[in-house]
Structure 1
Amino acid sequence: MAPLVPSQNEIANFARRVLVTAAPALIHSHLWPRNDDLKVRGAQGVTLGVIAAYVVIIALLWNIPYVRYVLWPFKMLVIAFHEFSHAITACCTGGRIESISLDPHEGGVTHMRGGWSALTLPAGYLGSSIIGMLLTFCGFDIVASKVASIVLGVCFLLTLWWGKKDWLTILTILISVGFLVGFWFVAHAEPLRFYVLFIGVMSSLYSVWDICDDLIFRKVNSSDASQFAKRYGGSSQCWGVIWSIISILFMAVGIIAGIAAFPETWAQQEKDSQGFAPTM
């Protein structure tokens, strides 16, 4: 059984393959893929169908009483992304993280000192949307999903360090990492691709639905958008709508980039996966 961590050569070859495939499409079309690059092929058609199914399933489960608890573990996971985005942005703008905690009632909080609030406040929603965009992009390819799972593992470890005193944070992260590792060993990590894709779609749409819950239906005064409006003007609903639109655009970019970058067939993806940190 080979180790899960790929070698530097494997990572370099994967990065080269993405650049060779996607870069010409972006450069020759002035940073936008040509129609030929966006032709949906067999594997991509299945991926788009799965994304559409995920959107419908998540929307239904989100609003059906009692049944909505099926999404609870994934909600906690994307909340972890949300809080991680607050934390990493605070660190990058001179702040200090004291702790991260997840609440059983589907909430979370990041205690920090310092940092630039103009960036740290919207970073939760926009950061998790960027993560969702990248995971959606990687969900179009098995090898890309393997790379994404490694990056996710690093992010989880950082979140676990900041939230090491919160049992729910620890449990959520350990279960998520367990799925990531487990799917590596099934059918050359093909299920990993759909798991990464689901997390990407969930993370992208969670920002939109959570903003709607907080600002339109529940009108929670302590939301990030409310705090941002108090400090920098405007209304919380206005900022919430703007952040929601940006989140949807991020997801669209991830889908378009995935179509342009990964035209390989199922057979080619499986072959590439067997050559990149193989596990079976």
Structure 2
Amino acid sequence: MNTQSLPFSTKYRFWLILCAALILSQIPIISIPFKWLESYFHEISHGLAALFTGGSIVRIQLFSNGAGLCTTRGGMSFLISFMGYAGAALWGMGIYYIATMHQRIAQILSGIIALLLLTTLVFWARDLLTLLIITVLLALVVLKFKYSKLSYLQVSLQLTGALILLNSVKSPWYLIDGRNIGDGAALSQLTGIPEFLWVVVWFSIGVGGIVWLARTSKKR
């Protein structure tokens, strides 16, 4: 396809959506559900890593400030700790990319996300606040099915993926607080590699995801 002949909004679609996501992330009230969603994908990535390596999920907790906690039993400790921030970045990349493929595929993707949230609500949410937050997220995903045009759903998912990806780039840096707790500290204890280097790795995955999406969007 000759990109020179494409409209501006099509040619630079990814960057426009990324800019819109950046603006939305700075709006106090509107940004809250997206922070919850990024935290959810962070925690569910820990949990899925545990499940895939023979462990189990004990509970998932989400907090009103955007923080979260996934308690697991068994599994591979290294992969479980690593996949929190890495998983959030991969979820952001995947949601944006898959939603871009086709409007019907975007609809299926919404259904998969809703099913994952519902599974978490039933099996791993134990406290009232987590139940409330996941219910809100589930309601927002389900409401997207009400869009009269699938193109609106597609853009909404792309925006969601971009917001999750941007948060995954920013959030690892909060670990550099001198308290020696969190995923970076856990990996440092397991491997002897300083926490700062793990933060750089997670940051690089997020930035790499942005670059990859920017390049693939030019080919569509």
- TM class by smaller structure: 0.7 to 0.9
1:113 is matched with which residue: 36, 48, 73? 73
Contact 1:138 1:258 in 2 (8 A): no
The structure number with the bigger radius of gyration is 1
What is the distance in 1 between the residues matched to 2:5 and 2:137?
31
For structure 1, the 5+ residue unaligned runs are 1-35, 62-66, 264-280
Q: CA offset at residue 168 of structure 1?
A: 2.6
- TM-score calculated relative to the size of structure 2: 0.87
Question: Within the alignment, does 1:41 sit opposite 2:6 as a pair?
Answer: yes
Question: What residue in structure 1 maps to residue 175 of structure 2?
Answer: 214
Question: What residue in structure 2 maps to residue 53 of structure 1?
Answer: 19
The residue type equivalent to 1:48 in the other structure is F
What is the distance in 1 between the residues matched to 2:174 and 2:18?
22
What is the distance in 2 between the residues matched to 1:123 and 1:38?
36
Question: Within the alignment, does 1:196 sit opposite 2:157 as a pair?
Answer: yes
The residue type equivalent to 1:223 in the other structure is G
What is the distance in 2 between the residues matched to 1:232 and 1:38?
46
The residue type equivalent to 1:186 in the other structure is Y
What is the distance in 1 between the residues matched to 2:140 and 2:12?
22
Contact 1:136 1:255 in 2 (8 A): no
What is the distance in 2 between the residues matched to 1:190 and 1:200?
15
Question: What residue in structure 2 maps to residue 11 of structure 1?
Answer: none
Residues 59-116 of structure 1 deviation map (CA, whole Å, 9 limit, x = unaligned) = 6x1xxxxx53431221111111111000011011011111111122321111111111
Contact 2:89 2:168 in 1 (8 A): yes
What is the distance in 2 between the residues matched to 1:172 and 1:52?
25
Q: CA distance change for structure 1 residues 96 and 37 in 2, over 3 Å: closer, same or farther?
A: farther
What is the distance in 2 between the residues matched to 1:137 and 1:39?
22
Q: Helix, strand or coil: the match of 2:58?
A: strand
Q: CA offset at residue 224 of structure 1?
A: 0.5
What is the distance in 2 between the residues matched to 1:38 and 1:248?
24
Q: How does 1:230-269 map to 2 (within 5 A)?
A: 230-260=189-219, 263=220
Contact 2:118 2:138 in 1 (8 A): no
- TM-score calculated relative to the size of structure 1: 0.70
Q: CA distance change for structure 1 residues 58 and 235 in 2, over 3 Å: closer, same or farther?
A: farther
Percent of residue pairs identical? 23
The residue type equivalent to 1:41 in the other structure is L
Q: CA offset at residue 205 of structure 1?
A: 1.6
Aligned CA-pair RMSD? 2.4
